[in-house]
Structure 1
Amino acid sequence: IGVVRQRQACYLKAIETRPDFAVAWSNLGCVFNAQGEIWLAIHHFEKAVALDPNFLDAYINLGNVLKEARIFDRAVAAYLRALNLSPYNAVVHGNLACVYYEQGLIDLAIDTYRRAIELQPNFP
């Protein structure tokens, strides 16, 4: 727990010093997610992508947390934005397929997962 609190303090200081530092917002989102603070994680990832609309990892992290929270429509939006930035990212295709499956969009889930496998044949 000491290391997590140190990281949290470090990222908070970075944000205090540079409020426009998207990486610090995203990293703090990861800390909050690891602590089970889903809503704080979502807030920080959303702030990161608002500051840097081309921040691929923040969109992926946002999609992952929204998927965990079962906020599927917003998870889809985050993953689609990530794919707009990185269309050949098999992991994002796979994550998106999982959300489609959870939404009951089975055909779309299958097609999206197939795309992940096309991009990375050994995809899990």
Structure 2
Amino acid sequence: RQAQGDLAGAIFDYTRAIELDPNLAMAYVNRGVARQAQGDLAGAIFDYTRAIELDPNLAMAYYNRGIARKAQGDLAGATLDYTRAIELDPNFAKAYSNRGDAQQDQGDLAGAVEDYDRAREIDPKLWQAWANRGIALAGLGRREEALASFERALTLCPPERRAQVETARRQFLGE
């Protein structure tokens, strides 16, 4: 149901699965994703935390909890969760990219660039890492590198995101 956009139905189904088997860690993760999509960050964090209790090696649960924590403004908590996801899955490009976002939001631009670079090494087509790397590099005064990152992001991003990347490029490079 979740794939069809029926979040309430998906939450109902995941809740039913959890009632039948309360040890299904992925059911908690999936219900958390649906709750988060509905804007229920506290419920999502609860579900991700429960999934982690059931399976402490579930990188996706840490990653998703990091997204929810960042949305709540808990940047330190988000950074910890992304770090744990990376420890469990060192090739988790999106976890590196999201940790870079959290570091950038905390003012650690150099650390953010390192994470974006690692994300790009793992997944060279991850356009968000290229775009956000451009923002961090611009903040560090590395204009030419920032411009190259934005240009690469523009070639990789879906058409509906080009305006967003273009706006960021102009804003952060003063164009």
Q: 1:91 maps to what in 2?
A: 94
**Pair member with larger Rg:** 2
User: How many percent identity over aligned positions?
Assistant: 33
Q: 2:119 maps to what in 1?
A: 116
Structure 1 gap ranges (5+): none
Q: CA deviation at 1:2?
A: 8.4
Q: 1:4 to 1:119 in 2, by over 3 A?
A: closer
Q: Supply the RMSD in Å over aligned alpha carbons.
A: 1.6
Q: 1:34 maps to what in 2?
A: 37
TM-score (norm 1): 0.92
Instruction: Please give the secondary structure, in 2, of the residue aligned with 1:64.
Output: helix
Q: CA deviation at 1:4?
A: 1.9
Q: CA deviation at 1:79?
A: 0.6
Q: Deviations over 1:22-60 (max 9, x none)?
A: 111111111111111111111111111111111122111
Moved more, 85-94 or 113-122: 113-122
Instruction: Please give the secondary structure, in 1, of the residue aligned with 2:13.
Output: helix
1: distance between equivalents of 2:101 and 2:11?
A: 30
Structure 2 gap ranges (5+): 128-175
14, 18, 33: which one pairs with 1:15? 18
Q: Aligned partner of 2:53: which letter?
A: A
Instruction: Please give the secondary structure, in 2, of the residue aligned with 1:53.
Output: coil
2: distance between equivalents of 1:2 and 1:86?
A: 29
Matched-pair contact (CA < 8 Å) for 2:7–2:35: no
2: distance between equivalents of 1:2 and 1:122?
A: 27
1: distance between equivalents of 2:125 and 2:16?
A: 41
